[in-house]
Amino acid sequence: MIHLKINYEASLAIVEREEEGELLSLIAVAAAAAVAVAESEAVALALAVAVEVAVEVAVEVSVAVSVAVSVAVTVAVATAAEAAAAAAAVAVALSVAAAAAVAVAVAVAVAVAVAVAVALSVAAAAAALAAAVSAAVAAAVTAAVAAAVAVAVAVAVAAAAAAVAVAVRVAEAVAVAAFCFFVLEVFVV
């Protein structure tokens, strides 16, 4: 009878240890889920920063476009030499805008790489979160593409305006020269 009691108590102690082990396993799983949530919040913050940078670059691009339009108006009023200098300034402004667009694309690529790395580590715990991160990345990429398209349109408009202004100035110079030649020919002869 004493034997059975000792065996029963030993079995009871083993069961209690197994239950403690299962409880510790559940705590470890909960801690891992908390870490995964913290990492997903870090990704969301990184994406928010990337979107903020994209907005700032879009503002800079709009300022560059405004400067390009100003330069085009100046070219229309200036002489041919001034038009060449203004065209060089437009090229510099557009190269700065293009560099800003490249910086946005790099920032978005870095955000995408971070999102992919975190999504791989969190995939088992949060598949829905990974879908939301992918949607945010797609929105950031769309914004970067829109900024690049805006820069391309601004470049085309500025180049066309500069070309028209130079052509007008050249036509005016040719007309003035022809008139002067006509006046000299009429009055000298």
Asked if residue 1 is part of any domain, the answer here is no
What local confidence, expressed as pLDDT, does residue 51 receive?
Answer: 87
Q: Is residue 137 part of a domain?
A: yes
Residue 78 lies in a domain: yes
> Which residues, 6+ apart, have CB-to-CB distance to 151 below 8 Å?
61, 64, 94, 97, 98, 101
- Give the pLDDT score at 117: 62
Q: Are the CB atoms for 64 and 94 separated by under 8 Å?
A: yes
pLDDT for the residue 57:
81
Look up the domain containing 115 and give its range.
Answer: 36-188
Contact call for residues 115 and 43 (beta carbons, < 8 A): yes
Residue ranges, the chain, pLDDT below 50? 80, 123-125
Furthest-apart CA atoms within the chain: distance in Å: 147
| Number of alpha carbons in the 13 Å side-chain half-sphere of residue 148 | 14
Model pLDDT, residue 24? 85
Contact between residue 54 and residue 140 where contact means Cβ atoms under 8 Å apart = yes
State the Cα–Cα distance between residues 36 and 118, nearest whole angstrom. 8
Backbone torsions φ then ψ of 111, nearest 5 degrees: -60, -40
Q: How far is 172 from 83, CA to CA, in rounded Å?
A: 14
Residue 47 lies in a domain: yes
| pTM score of the predicted model | 0.32
Q: Is residue 156 assigned to a domain? A: yes
* Tally of domains within the chain: 1
One-letter amino acid at 24 equals: L
Which residue in 111, 91, 97 sits closest to 57, CA to CA? 97
Is residue 131 included in any domain, yes or no?
A: yes
* Measured distance CA(16)–CA(28) in Å, rounded: 18
**Residue 123: what pLDDT?**
47
Q: What is the pLDDT of residue 80?
A: 47
Q: How far is CA 33 from the centre of its chain?
A: 31
Q: What does the alpha-carbon distance between residue 27 and residue 187 come to, in Å, rounded to a whole number?
A: 106
- What is the model's pLDDT at position 162? 92
Q: 126 φ, ψ to 5°?
A: -145, 80
Instruction: Decide if 127 is inside a domain.
Output: yes
Within-domain flag for 84: yes
